Structure 1
């Protein structure tokens, strides 16, 4: 018998019994998501400890990473632990200052929707709804303009369970958690029977005709900070010094963010500092696509600029500006919205599809006054019960429109379906154009 036949016989008879491996499987029991619980706030590491450990393990982090951790950590994140809006919090918003603000927005949405049709059935979608005050004021207005509870549903995009509870208690007569398989994670009903749904992502909101509201939403989204050096654009990073304190440093080489985000026209002109929020650009694009594809209007209101500023990252604590690198989780981190970037992300061009007609930005003072806010102010003052109440109403209004207060700093921008170009040329959008003199 030759050698080849010997090896063949050997392989066929001996190897299977001696060295052949068999596949084996071990059953692993996965945890039930419904039974998982987050650690209580007091038992979890502090945000400073989490950030320090992340830097020690992986090196310096971007400002965007820092903002994301501070805002959204499940137990220690700024928006996860407490209600931060109002006199007792770190900042106050326009809807909390005066009911007039939300009422004017309700009238604006209704008036602009009449150019399209009835707008029924209607989804009202708010991103970062705060305490729910703005929605409450809008609902009060449109209930008098022919909208019945069956015509409306509310869809709130909110990542904080704490703020979700605040909103539910304000808006709903009943509310509850829902099955984890559903796109929304919470639901309720108003006293009049309007259905209310909560989501942790805009992508989960149904694609239907909607009013989209983003009031003081974009300013808290994470930003990347860049500086122009003699070697080109470099990213500002956050690192640890020898004493364990956080400080800024410039990246030695181009980071991925530099390569991906700094493109014309964002880096045009003689700018030496840039703040770019990739998350903001993505959401602006989503809103534009939804409005153009499925109908509706999006309204953005925030403090910001049109590309002339470069360093606006800061923190607020008890209504005062503080160092954003100190006491993470105890301060509101924010940056002025660059409306020129939102326009680039959302505007329809001759070479693109499914993007919106972009109006604005215009100053809050101009927007409110063009929407006849002074007429509404007069009604509120005439109905005031006392001179003290009148004074409070007027002071609140001045806070909204005075240039040195909110009037100039806050801007409004709107997205319309691209199919409305001829209609808007004939009937200019309310608030974004000067009404003709009577």
Structure 2
């Protein structure tokens, strides 16, 4: 008999019984996300232990990975477990220094929005709202301008439940967590009836006409650090030495971050050091698309530069500079914002449908003075009850504008819809000397 025929017959007769199998699936009951709880701080490993174990298992980590762990670890992350802003914390922000700062920003938004037309209903979106102080000052101005509770809603992008609780207690008359299936994870209501929502990602905020505020937000986003060597660009990594201490080292080969991020025009000029935040570029692009497609304005205020600096990664503890690799989780990790990179991310690129008109950056001193902050200062001083209060207003303002303090280190940048090009040519942006395209 033909051998191939025998083989086919055997397949038909034998293989089905040999290979056939019944269902052997086992039902697994998955945990209900609503019942899951974070481990207690006492039982959770320290940030240093987490980092060291990650390095032992996977090798050196990037600065961006290091920052992400230190900042966002659910139980031991820097922003997750304590109030960090103010005299008792590690740093102080402009809104905490004086109410004038938030009031001027509110006036800027109102003035520029008038060039667009009606602004009701209005979403106010703040990225990293701190203690909520800036929003309180903005709402006070809007109340004086006739905005009612039904005209405004607040949308706060905040990953820290600790900071979220601080914000909710300051802003809201009542607040509550919501179902896990909702895009926001917490909601509340102010005394005047303004709805407040919290999100862990900008992508979840509803698309609508909005004012976007990013004050001291971009400086805490994780960065990749690169150095130019005789072999080309290499990434700065964090490793463990023989004494089990963290230290910096240069990658021997091109990392994936070098291949993806270090490219024209980000590496233009004669730079030998470079810091790039992939997350920062992504957020800038999101803001540009949202402003252009759905209307509104985005205002970024942060300390930074326009590409002239290359090594700015540092840490603050109790208002003092400390080693970023010492006691991770106990100090604020930060890096100066490269505004030239934000411009590249937000401006029109080949194939882009949505982009923003980018203005700035300008120094904080120039922005505040062009927005007539001195006039507001005079009103506050005239209404002060005591000479001591007058001096406080004056010294606080000087802190904001003094070139040796915050006046020149902090800068402002704004995103406008691309459709406003002709309007801005006729009515230049308040606070900014020229429009750069």
Q: What TM-score comes out, normalization by structure 2 length?
A: 0.97
SS of the residue corresponding to residue 236 of structure 2 reads: strand
Larger displacement relative to structure 2 (1-10 or 124-133): 1-10
SS of the residue corresponding to residue 406 of structure 1 reads: coil
The question of 1:135 aligning with 2:159 is answered no
Q: Deviations over 1:278-330 (max 9, x none)?
A: 10000000000000000000000000001000000000000000000000000
Partner of 2:166: 166
Contact 1:348 1:418 in 2 (8 A): no
Q: What does 1:7-22 align with in structure 2 at a 5 Å threshold?
A: 12=12, 15-17=15-17, 20-22=20-22
SS of the residue corresponding to residue 196 of structure 2 reads: strand
Larger displacement relative to structure 2 (22-31 or 12-21): 12-21
**Distance in 2 (alpha carbons) for counterparts of 1:292 and 1:95:** 28
Structure 1 residue runs of 5 or longer lacking an equivalent are: none
- Once the two structures are TM-superposed, the CA of residue 129 in structure 1 deviates from its matched residue by 0.2
Alpha carbons of structure 1 residues 385 and 26: separation in structure 2 relative to 1, 3 Å: same
The question of 1:230 aligning with 2:220 is answered no
Partner of 2:98: 98
- Once the two structures are TM-superposed, the CA of residue 118 in structure 1 deviates from its matched residue by 1.8
Q: What does 1:5-404 align with in structure 2 at a 5 Å threshold?
A: 12=12, 15-17=15-17, 20-348=20-348, 352-404=352-404
Q: Deviations over 1:23-55 (max 9, x none)?
A: 321101010000000001121000000000000
**Distance in 1 (alpha carbons) for counterparts of 2:124 and 2:239:** 42
**Distance in 2 (alpha carbons) for counterparts of 1:65 and 1:2:** 65
**Distance in 2 (alpha carbons) for counterparts of 1:215 and 1:323:** 25
SS of the residue corresponding to residue 140 of structure 1 reads: helix
**Distance in 2 (alpha carbons) for counterparts of 1:321 and 1:432:** 32
Structure 2 residue runs of 5 or longer lacking an equivalent are: none
- Paired residue total: 434
- Once the two structures are TM-superposed, the CA of residue 353 in structure 1 deviates from its matched residue by 2.6
**Distance in 1 (alpha carbons) for counterparts of 2:162 and 2:321:** 24
Q: Deviations over 1:174-195 (max 9, x none)?
A: 0000011110000000000000
- Once the two structures are TM-superposed, the CA of residue 268 in structure 1 deviates from its matched residue by 1.3
SS of the residue corresponding to residue 29 of structure 1 reads: coil
SS of the residue corresponding to residue 328 of structure 2 reads: coil
Q: Deviations over 1:307-362 (max 9, x none)?
A: 00000000000000000000000000000000000001101358643100000000
**Distance in 2 (alpha carbons) for counterparts of 1:141 and 1:13:** 85
**Distance in 2 (alpha carbons) for counterparts of 1:259 and 1:6:** 58
Q: What TM-score comes out, normalization by structure 1 length?
A: 0.96
SS of the residue corresponding to residue 378 of structure 1 reads: helix
SS of the residue corresponding to residue 176 of structure 2 reads: strand
- Once the two structures are TM-superposed, the CA of residue 265 in structure 1 deviates from its matched residue by 1.5
**Distance in 2 (alpha carbons) for counterparts of 1:4 and 1:311:** 73
Larger displacement relative to structure 2 (194-203 or 4-13): 4-13
- Once the two structures are TM-superposed, the CA of residue 20 in structure 1 deviates from its matched residue by 3.1
SS of the residue corresponding to residue 88 of structure 1 reads: coil
**Distance in 1 (alpha carbons) for counterparts of 2:220 and 2:4:** 74
Q: Deviations over 1:62-90 (max 9, x none)?
A: 00000000000010100000110000000
Q: Deviations over 1:168-216 (max 9, x none)?
A: 0000000000011110000000000000000000000000000000000
**Distance in 2 (alpha carbons) for counterparts of 1:174 and 1:307:** 45
**Distance in 2 (alpha carbons) for counterparts of 1:412 and 1:186:** 30
The question of 1:410 aligning with 2:410 is answered yes
Alpha carbons of structure 1 residues 7 and 199: separation in structure 2 relative to 1, 3 Å: same
**Distance in 2 (alpha carbons) for counterparts of 1:101 and 1:325:** 33
Alpha carbons of structure 1 residues 32 and 394: separation in structure 2 relative to 1, 3 Å: same
- Once the two structures are TM-superposed, the CA of residue 21 in structure 1 deviates from its matched residue by 2.5
Larger displacement relative to structure 2 (183-192 or 3-12): 3-12
Alpha carbons of structure 1 residues 2 and 396: separation in structure 2 relative to 1, 3 Å: closer
CA-atom RMSD in angstroms:
1.5
Q: Deviations over 1:198-238 (max 9, x none)?
A: 00000000000000000000000000000011111100000
SS of the residue corresponding to residue 112 of structure 2 reads: helix
Alpha carbons of structure 1 residues 22 and 319: separation in structure 2 relative to 1, 3 Å: same
Alpha carbons of structure 1 residues 38 and 5: separation in structure 2 relative to 1, 3 Å: same
